[in-house]
Amino acid sequence: KPVFCDKKCKKRCSKAGVKDRCIKYCGICCGYCKCVPSGTYGNKHECPCYRDMRSSKGRPKEKRKKEKETHFVFFLTHARDPNPLPPPPVSFTVAAGASPLFRRSVKPSCRALPSDRLPSLRLLDGRRRLPGFLAFRYPSSEPGSKRLSSGFSVVERLLDKGRMRIVGLTGGISSGKSTVSNLFKAHDIPIVDADLIARDVVEKGTGGWKKVVSAFGEDILLSNGEIDRRKLGQIVFADPAKRKLLNQLLAPYISSGILWKIVKLWMKGYKVIVLDIPLLFEAKMDRWTKPTIVVWVDSETQLQRLVARDGQSEDDARNRINAQMALDLKRDKADIVIDNTGSLDDLNQRFREVLSEVTKPLSWTEFMLSRQGALTTLVVVIISAITCRKFYKSGV
């Protein structure tokens, strides 16, 4: 008998009604056929020799599971998603004859099947409803259908609503970050804009304002007491030491402002947010974002666009460009690069590809960082604590 038989048969029989018997016959078949079908049931076409083996009484060697199962494939999408991207079809194993499906939560348009033929999801408890999800039924032979091995993966998809992904958006000055973040906004993806936060934290009378005025003097103020941003810009972008000082003074305010915005969006249950931070890599904040998008342009286009937009001299524009990490270096660090050297139409086209990348189903790590993940952990901790307490008391 090949060495892999024991391991494969153990897996194959993990859900069998009479496990020992299943393992025994699976071992015999595997020894003879050198092959075990994948999954815990079916797929016997993978090993025709195994499938066709019969006992002396002419019955199939492999014992069927006691519980009769039917295999359905559903296509789930979020009903409230304004721009639903089709996830891959999800296949569920359902118990035949189980209580009626989440009939109430399935949209009328999806009730093409007679209600008695709608199965219930065995992997969820019978009372559980799936508000907000549309379910489309496909035959299990549909190409691309995938049988999920555990309820975990199914639940992961169903809880999609509560997860969160923090996408980093960065680039060079005037490379097109704001243009891209506007496209995200148009698709209802919230943006945390570090430039806006950096403005808020130096508003007249704030802590940031006081620190900047005491470091740079009242010469940088306008007549109304607000900071003259153009003047301060000319000072700091021409002098690295002064820029460093300004960064150090404002960093705590900016980072707590960013954090606070993320927490607010997290509490609202957003699943994808975009952090638009020009200095994402310089401030080493890219460790918190995944994926990280860099909007790249060639240096000539960058200079031209900056001069055209801000109406400043080429020297001032160059100072600003040189105040940041080289854009080519940022491009090398990116997970996703958007080349914005072309037209706005080209940008739109590339953006659509990036959008589908960014909104693809979330990983477990991302889920655990979400509001729903945190609540799940909290509930598990509370239940464990109560169980332990009861156990401890009964022991005493």
Ligand X SMILES: Nc1ncnc2c1ncn2[C@@H]1O[C@H](COP(=O)(O)OP(=O)(O)OP(=O)(O)O)[C@@H](O)[C@H]1O
Ligand Y SMILES: CC(C)(COP(=O)(O)OP(=O)(O)OC[C@H]1O[C@@H](n2cnc3c(N)ncnc32)[C@H](O)[C@@H]1O)[C@@H](O)C(=O)NCCC(=O)NCCS
Six-digit token pair at 179?
């243009």
Is 232 a binder of ligand Y (CB under 6 A)?
yes
Sign, Cα dihedral of 134, 140, 142, 145: positive
- The rounded distance, in Å, linking the Cα atoms of 258 and 264 is 10
Is 229 a binder of ligand Y (CB under 6 A)?
yes
Q: Which residues pair with 192 in a beta bridge?
A: 275
Angle at CA of residue 85, ends 183 and 185, nearest 5°: 20
Q: Of the listed pieces 83-91, 111-119, 146-154, 194-202, which binds ligand Y according to CB under 6 A?
A: 194-202
Q: Which does 372 bind (CB under 5 to 8 A by kind): ligand X, ligand Y, none?
A: none
Tell me the per-residue interface mask from 292 to 311 with ligand X, x by CB under 6 A, - otherwise: -------------x---x--
Q: Which does 324 bind (CB under 5 to 8 A by kind): ligand Y, ligand X, none?
A: ligand Y
Is 243 a binder of ligand Y (CB under 6 A)?
yes
Six-digit token pair at 192?
């945390």
Shortest Å distance, C-beta 277 to ligand Y:
5
Closer residue to ligand Y in complex, CB, 129/230: 230
Contact between 188 and 83 under an 8 Å Cβ cutoff? The reply is: yes
- The residue to which tokens 């995938």 are assigned: 146
Which residues neighbour 370 within 8 Å (Cβ) at sequence distance 6 or greater? 162, 163, 164, 266, 271, 362
Tell me the per-residue interface mask from 322 to 361 with ligand Y, x by CB under 6 A, - otherwise: -xx-------------------------------------
- The residue to which tokens 């243009």 are assigned: 179
Is 40 a binder of ligand X (CB under 6 A)?
no
Closer residue to ligand X in complex, CB, 73/189: 189
Tell me the per-residue interface mask from 276 to 295 with ligand Y, x by CB under 6 A, - otherwise: -xxx----------------
Give helix then strand counts, H and E, for the chain.
15, 8
Six-digit token pair at 61?
């060697």
Closer residue to ligand X in complex, CB, 226/339: 339
Residues that bind ligand X (CB under 6 A): 171, 173-179, 195, 278, 305, 309, 340, 343-344, 347
